[in-house]
A and B are shown apart, each in its own frame.
Chain A
Amino acid sequence: DAGVTQSPTHLIKTRGQQVTLRCSPISGHKSVSWYQQVLGQGPQFIFQYYEKEERGRGNFPDRFSARQFPNYSSELNVNALLLGDSALYLCASSSASGTRYGYTFGSGTRLTVV
Protein backbone atom coordinates (compact mmCIF):
# COMPACT_ATOMS: atom_id res chain seq x y z
CA ASP A 1 0.00 0.00 0.00
CA ALA A 2 1.21 3.50 -0.79
CA GLY A 3 1.99 5.68 2.19
CA VAL A 4 1.17 9.36 2.52
CA THR A 5 2.37 11.09 -0.63
CA GLN A 6 3.22 14.76 -0.89
CA SER A 7 4.03 16.86 -3.92
CA PRO A 8 6.17 18.51 -4.90
CA THR A 9 9.16 17.37 -2.83
CA HIS A 10 11.04 20.63 -3.25
CA LEU A 11 9.93 24.09 -4.27
CA ILE A 12 11.55 27.49 -4.61
CA LYS A 13 9.35 30.56 -4.65
CA THR A 14 9.87 34.31 -4.56
CA ARG A 15 8.55 36.56 -1.82
CA GLY A 16 4.99 37.63 -2.49
CA GLN A 17 4.14 34.61 -4.61
CA GLN A 18 1.56 31.98 -3.82
CA VAL A 19 2.14 28.26 -3.39
CA THR A 20 -0.03 25.13 -3.33
CA LEU A 21 1.14 21.95 -1.67
CA ARG A 22 -0.62 18.63 -2.15
CA CYS A 23 -1.13 15.57 -0.01
CA SER A 24 -2.69 12.17 -0.65
CA PRO A 25 -3.45 10.23 2.52
CA ILE A 26 -3.22 6.50 2.98
CA SER A 27 -6.14 4.76 1.34
CA GLY A 28 -9.02 4.64 3.81
CA HIS A 29 -7.70 7.47 5.96
CA LYS A 30 -10.20 10.29 6.25
CA SER A 31 -8.18 12.68 8.41
CA VAL A 32 -5.38 14.91 7.13
CA SER A 33 -3.25 17.28 9.18
CA TRP A 34 -0.67 19.82 8.05
CA TYR A 35 2.45 20.83 9.95
CA GLN A 36 5.20 23.36 9.36
CA GLN A 37 8.69 22.47 10.53
CA VAL A 38 11.36 25.15 10.58
CA LEU A 39 14.94 23.91 10.67
CA GLY A 40 15.95 22.80 14.14
CA GLN A 41 12.42 22.97 15.56
CA GLY A 42 9.59 20.56 16.09
CA PRO A 43 6.61 20.49 13.72
CA GLN A 44 4.03 23.22 14.30
CA PHE A 45 0.35 22.40 13.76
CA ILE A 46 -1.34 24.32 10.93
CA PHE A 47 -4.63 22.57 10.06
CA GLN A 48 -6.57 19.37 10.54
CA TYR A 49 -9.36 18.14 8.27
CA TYR A 50 -11.69 15.23 8.77
CA GLU A 51 -14.36 14.21 6.27
CA LYS A 52 -13.70 17.46 4.37
CA GLU A 53 -14.41 19.64 7.38
CA GLU A 54 -11.86 21.75 9.19
CA ARG A 55 -11.47 20.38 12.70
CA GLY A 56 -8.54 22.40 13.94
CA ARG A 57 -6.46 25.41 13.08
CA GLY A 58 -3.11 26.43 14.52
CA ASN A 59 -1.75 29.87 15.20
CA PHE A 60 -0.98 30.80 11.61
CA PRO A 61 -2.04 33.91 9.68
CA ASP A 62 -4.92 33.94 7.21
CA ARG A 63 -2.39 33.68 4.39
CA PHE A 64 -2.49 29.96 5.14
CA SER A 65 -5.55 28.05 3.97
CA ALA A 66 -6.35 24.44 3.19
CA ARG A 67 -9.08 22.21 1.93
CA GLN A 68 -9.88 18.52 1.68
CA PHE A 69 -11.43 16.92 -1.36
CA PRO A 70 -14.06 14.13 -1.62
CA ASN A 71 -11.28 11.59 -2.15
CA TYR A 72 -9.72 12.84 1.14
CA SER A 73 -6.66 14.34 -0.54
CA SER A 74 -5.77 17.80 0.63
CA GLU A 75 -4.15 21.03 -0.49
CA LEU A 76 -2.37 23.64 1.59
CA ASN A 77 -2.21 27.12 0.11
CA VAL A 78 0.04 29.92 1.26
CA ASN A 79 -0.40 33.40 -0.17
CA ALA A 80 1.94 36.40 -0.14
CA LEU A 81 4.95 34.30 0.77
CA LEU A 82 7.45 35.63 3.27
CA LEU A 83 11.04 34.55 3.81
CA GLY A 84 9.93 33.11 7.15
CA ASP A 85 7.63 30.66 5.38
CA SER A 86 10.68 28.70 4.30
CA ALA A 87 10.26 25.33 5.98
CA LEU A 88 9.47 21.66 5.59
CA TYR A 89 5.71 21.20 5.26
CA LEU A 90 4.48 17.87 6.49
CA CYS A 91 1.19 16.14 5.87
CA ALA A 92 -0.08 13.43 8.19
CA SER A 93 -3.05 11.11 7.83
CA SER A 94 -4.97 8.91 10.21
CA SER A 95 -7.92 6.58 9.93
CA ALA A 96 -9.93 8.24 12.65
CA SER A 97 -8.47 9.98 15.60
CA GLY A 98 -4.74 10.36 15.20
CA THR A 99 -4.54 11.62 18.74
CA ARG A 100 -5.64 8.18 19.94
CA TYR A 101 -3.90 5.91 17.43
CA GLY A 102 -1.07 7.87 15.87
CA TYR A 103 -0.41 9.53 12.55
CA THR A 104 1.38 8.48 9.36
CA PHE A 105 3.49 11.24 7.89
CA GLY A 106 4.54 11.95 4.34
CA SER A 107 8.14 12.85 3.48
CA GLY A 108 7.25 16.51 3.25
CA THR A 109 7.61 19.39 0.83
CA ARG A 110 10.64 21.59 1.39
CA LEU A 111 9.68 25.16 0.53
CA THR A 112 12.36 27.79 0.06
CA VAL A 113 11.29 31.41 -0.27
CA VAL A 114 13.88 33.75 -1.76
Chain B
Amino acid sequence: SQQGEEDPQALSIQEGENATMNCSYKTSINNLQWYRQNSGRGLVHLILIRSNEREKHSGRLRVTLDTSKKSSSLLITASRAADTASYFCATDVSADKIIFGKGTRLHILP
Protein backbone atom coordinates (compact mmCIF):
# COMPACT_ATOMS: atom_id res chain seq x y z
CA SER B 1 0.00 0.00 0.00
CA GLN B 2 1.13 3.58 -0.56
CA GLN B 3 0.71 6.28 2.02
CA GLY B 4 1.47 9.28 -0.09
CA GLU B 5 0.01 10.34 -3.38
CA GLU B 6 1.63 12.95 -5.58
CA ASP B 7 -0.25 15.29 -7.83
CA PRO B 8 -0.03 15.81 -10.73
CA GLN B 9 1.19 12.47 -12.07
CA ALA B 10 3.03 14.26 -14.85
CA LEU B 11 4.02 17.87 -15.45
CA SER B 12 5.66 19.60 -18.41
CA ILE B 13 6.87 23.18 -18.13
CA GLN B 14 9.19 25.52 -19.98
CA GLU B 15 12.72 25.96 -18.74
CA GLY B 16 12.90 28.88 -16.35
CA GLU B 17 9.35 28.46 -15.06
CA ASN B 18 8.50 27.27 -11.57
CA ALA B 19 7.28 23.72 -10.97
CA THR B 20 4.94 22.82 -8.15
CA MET B 21 3.99 19.31 -7.15
CA ASN B 22 1.84 18.18 -4.26
CA CYS B 23 1.73 15.22 -1.92
CA SER B 24 -1.18 14.05 0.18
CA TYR B 25 -0.92 11.38 2.85
CA LYS B 26 -3.30 9.47 5.05
CA THR B 27 -1.96 9.02 8.58
CA SER B 28 -0.12 11.21 11.07
CA ILE B 29 3.59 11.65 10.45
CA ASN B 30 6.71 12.82 12.21
CA ASN B 31 8.64 13.67 9.07
CA LEU B 32 8.08 13.97 5.33
CA GLN B 33 10.83 13.64 2.76
CA TRP B 34 11.15 14.45 -0.93
CA TYR B 35 13.34 12.47 -3.31
CA ARG B 36 14.31 12.82 -6.97
CA GLN B 37 14.89 9.93 -9.36
CA ASN B 38 16.49 10.27 -12.78
CA SER B 39 15.58 7.72 -15.47
CA GLY B 40 14.93 4.73 -13.20
CA ARG B 41 18.16 5.11 -11.27
CA GLY B 42 18.63 5.47 -7.53
CA LEU B 43 16.74 8.09 -5.54
CA VAL B 44 18.41 11.25 -4.33
CA HIS B 45 17.32 12.79 -1.04
CA LEU B 46 16.29 16.42 -1.54
CA ILE B 47 14.81 17.68 1.68
CA LEU B 48 13.19 16.55 4.93
CA ILE B 49 10.57 18.55 6.78
CA ARG B 50 9.45 17.75 10.30
CA SER B 51 5.85 17.78 11.45
CA ASN B 52 6.44 20.90 13.56
CA GLU B 53 7.79 22.83 10.58
CA ARG B 54 5.62 24.61 8.03
CA GLU B 55 8.17 25.57 5.41
CA LYS B 56 11.72 24.73 4.50
CA HIS B 57 14.11 25.95 1.81
CA SER B 58 17.12 24.39 0.13
CA GLY B 59 18.60 26.26 -2.82
CA ARG B 60 15.89 26.46 -5.49
CA LEU B 61 13.63 24.10 -3.54
CA ARG B 62 10.85 25.17 -1.23
CA VAL B 63 8.79 22.63 0.70
CA THR B 64 5.67 23.34 2.70
CA LEU B 65 3.82 21.07 5.07
CA ASP B 66 0.23 21.38 6.28
CA THR B 67 -0.40 18.66 8.84
CA SER B 68 -4.04 19.66 9.28
CA LYS B 69 -4.65 18.90 5.61
CA LYS B 70 -2.14 16.06 5.51
CA SER B 71 -0.43 17.58 2.52
CA SER B 72 2.91 18.89 1.35
CA SER B 73 4.12 20.75 -1.69
CA LEU B 74 7.47 20.94 -3.44
CA LEU B 75 8.28 24.06 -5.43
CA ILE B 76 11.25 24.16 -7.80
CA THR B 77 11.99 27.69 -8.89
CA ALA B 78 13.68 28.73 -12.16
CA SER B 79 13.58 25.19 -13.53
CA ARG B 80 16.46 23.77 -15.57
CA ALA B 81 16.72 20.88 -18.02
CA ALA B 82 18.58 18.92 -15.34
CA ASP B 83 15.47 19.05 -13.14
CA THR B 84 13.74 16.60 -15.50
CA ALA B 85 13.10 13.59 -13.27
CA SER B 86 10.49 11.85 -11.15
CA TYR B 87 9.83 13.31 -7.72
CA PHE B 88 8.55 11.28 -4.78
CA CYS B 89 7.33 12.17 -1.35
CA ALA B 90 7.92 9.72 1.46
CA THR B 91 6.36 9.63 4.92
CA ASP B 92 7.40 7.76 8.04
CA VAL B 93 4.88 5.13 9.08
CA SER B 94 7.09 3.79 11.88
CA ALA B 95 10.47 4.54 13.43
CA ASP B 96 12.18 2.41 10.81
CA LYS B 97 10.08 2.69 7.68
CA ILE B 98 9.15 5.28 5.09
CA ILE B 99 6.56 4.79 2.39
CA PHE B 100 6.71 6.43 -1.02
CA GLY B 101 3.99 7.77 -3.24
CA LYS B 102 3.72 7.00 -6.95
CA GLY B 103 5.62 10.11 -7.93
CA THR B 104 5.31 13.10 -10.24
CA ARG B 105 7.13 12.92 -13.57
CA LEU B 106 8.51 16.36 -14.33
CA HIS B 107 9.67 17.25 -17.84
CA ILE B 108 11.42 20.56 -18.48
CA LEU B 109 11.00 21.75 -22.04
CA PRO B 110 13.86 23.72 -23.67
Real complex partners, A and B?
A: yes
Chain A positions near chain B (C-beta within 8 angstroms): 4, 31, 33, 35, 37, 39-45, 48, 50, 55-56, 58-59, 88, 90, 92, 97-108, 110
B2 within 8 A of A: yes
B110 within 8 A of A: no
**Contact A55 to B41, CB < 8 A, known contacts A99-B30, A102-B48:** no
A56 neighbours in B (Cβ, 8 Å): 94, 96-97
Q: Is the CB of A90 within 8 A of B102?
A: no
* Residue of chain A at shortest CB distance from B29: A99
Chain B positions near chain A (C-beta within 8 angstroms): 1-2, 4, 30-31, 33, 35, 40-45, 48, 88, 92, 94-103
Q: Is the CB of B45 within 8 A of A102?
A: yes
Q: Is the CB of A88 within 8 A of B31?
A: no
Q: Is the CB of B98 within 8 A of A98?
A: yes
CA distance A44 to B97 in the complex (A): 11
Given A40-B102, A48-B96, A99-B30, 8 extra CB contacts under 8 A = A35-B100, A42-B102, A50-B96, A55-B96, A88-B40, A99-B94, A99-B95, A106-B42
**Contact A43 to B31, CB < 8 A, known contacts A97-B95, A99-B96:** no
* Residue of chain B at shortest CB distance from A90: B42
A92 neighbours in B (Cβ, 8 Å): 43
Q: Is the CB of A99 within 8 A of B31?
A: yes
Q: Is the CB of B42 within 8 A of A99?
A: no
